[in-house]
């Protein structure tokens, strides 16, 4: 069997046209997803039911033929395994029971293996169901980003509650991040052993931190995950996506040891090319260009291919696809990339 193109890129090869997948490619912009979600009931019912989770992961592969499928789940399944009262409220996003510093020592990871077993079953089913040429991506939320939700109990614009928690309770924050890193690494190891070709660590809130906090809350825990995963699965391929890190991306790449760095749309091409000299990069089309379509979409695609197409590149958005993205524009995106070869 020929090696999957996305894996080749993660190993440092240049493949042109580059392999492409989109963050949140299984989601509300697809009518088949909305139908499955309605049948499943709640969002967590969708995540933890292998029948439903497998189906929605495969839907964009059937429709568009992306080069990779990403496991359908959520970054907050780890705090859910810690019994932090995770629930999803329509139109409001996730809610959790906010954690206090004195509660961290009492967190029990012992139920995580059984709690997350349905997700691992979904990974195994997906590898069996996907075309041979299609890579399968597993994932977790990065410790810092997961911690922000656990501390505030919900999403916030600038994650001030978690940042203040880190300043006021540094030992408690370090303990929480260490626990989340260990649990996340074990979770990724199980996904890789079940059939994932690679995994991605989503650090959606890396960009709100100062340099010292970035080092302590993002770089250190991510390195801990990478080391633990590679000790258990030698040669494991790992993508890191520290959204908003920008000038700190070179430090992130060198210090964490990830194989590829995900870039948001604000990363300048000069910086992206510097990062690409060290290995694969992934990104970084503005999701709003996908919504706009037409010239805005075409120019955005062409600039990325021109700037980064001569090195190891995985084409993606700079963040997740949004529910209002027209299906016709996704088709146009793929056609534009594939015609470039």
Question: In angstroms, rounded to a whole number, what is the distance separating the alpha carbons of residues 211 and 167?
Answer: 13
What single string gives the DSSP state of each residue in 33-75? HHHHHHHH-SHHHHHH-HHHHHHHHHHHHHHH--SEEE----T
Q: What CA–CA distance (Å, rounded) separates 40 from 42?
A: 6
What's the CA angle centered on 175, arms 174 and 177, to 5 degrees?
65
Q: Is 227 helix (H, G, I), strand (E, B) or coil?
A: helix
- Catalytic residue list contains 74: yes
- Cα dihedral across residues 110, 128, 198, 314: positive or negative: negative
Is 28 one of the annotated active-site residues of the chain?
Answer: yes
24: annotated active-site residue: yes
Q: Give helix then strand counts, H and E, for the chain.
A: 17, 9
User: Active-site residue among 29, 149, 187, 252?
Assistant: 149
Q: Closest Cα to residue 130, out of 204, 212, 72?
A: 72
Annotated catalytic residue within 4, 37, 253, 289: 37
Contact of 81 with 72, CB cutoff 8 Å: no
Which of 28, 63, 193, 336 is flagged as catalytic? 28
Catalytic-role residue among 67, 74, 264, 286: 74
Burial 84-107 (b: 16+ CB within 10 A, else e): bebeeeeeeebbbebbeeeebeeb
- Tell me how far apart the alpha carbons of residues 8 and 15 are, in angstroms, rounded to a whole number: 8
Whole-angstrom CA distances from 210 to 151, 187, 246 are 19, 29, 12
The single residue of 4, 24, 84, 163 carrying the catalytic annotation is: 24
Q: How far apart are CA 278 and CA 254, in angstroms?
A: 9
Gap between the Cα atoms of 303 and 222, Å rounded:
30
Instruction: Give the catalytic positions in this structure.
Output: 24, 28, 37, 74, 149
């Amino acid at each position: 069997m020929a090696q999957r193109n996305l894996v080749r890129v993660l190993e440092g090869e240049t493949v042109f046209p580059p392999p492409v997948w989109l963050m949140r490619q299984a989601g509300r912009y697809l009518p088949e997803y909305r139908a499955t979600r309605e049948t499943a009931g709640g969002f967590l019912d969708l995540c933890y039911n292998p029948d439903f989770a497998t189906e929605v992961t495969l839907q964009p592969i059937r429709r568009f033929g992306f080069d990779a499928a990403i496991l359908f789940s959520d970054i907050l399944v780890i705090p859910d395994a810690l019994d932090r009262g995770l629930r999803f409220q329509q139109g409001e996003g996730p809610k959790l029971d906010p954690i206090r510093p004195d509660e961290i020592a009492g967190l029990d990871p012992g139920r995580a293996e059984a709690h997350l077993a349905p997700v691992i079953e979904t990974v195994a089913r997906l590898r069996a169901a996907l075309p041979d040429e299609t890579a399968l991506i597993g994932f977790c939320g990065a410790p810092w980003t997961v911690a922000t939700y656990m501390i505030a109990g919900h999403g916030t614009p600038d994650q001030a509650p978690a940042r203040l928690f880190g300043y006021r309770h540094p030992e408690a924050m370090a303990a929480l991040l260490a626990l989340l890193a260990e649990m996340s690494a074990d979770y990724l190891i199980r996904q890789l052993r079940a059939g994932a070709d690679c995994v991605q660590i989503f650090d959606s809130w890396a960009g709100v931190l100062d340099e010292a906090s970035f080092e302590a809350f993002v770089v250190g825990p991510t390195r801990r995950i990478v080391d633990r995963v590679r000790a258990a699965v030698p040669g494991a391929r790992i993508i890191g996506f520290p959204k908003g890190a920008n000038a700190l991306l070179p430090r992130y790449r060198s210090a964490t040891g990830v194989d590829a760095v995900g870039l948001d749309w604000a990363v300048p091409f000069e910086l992206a090319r510097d990062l690409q000299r060290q290995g694969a990069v992934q990104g970084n089309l503005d999701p709003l260009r996908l919504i706009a379509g037409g010239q805005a979409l075409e120019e955005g695609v062409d600039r990325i291919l021109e700037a980064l197409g001569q090195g190891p590149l995985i084409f993606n958005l700079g963040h997740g696809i949004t529910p209002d993205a027209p299906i016709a524009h996704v088709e146009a995106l793929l056609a534009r990339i594939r015609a470039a070869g």
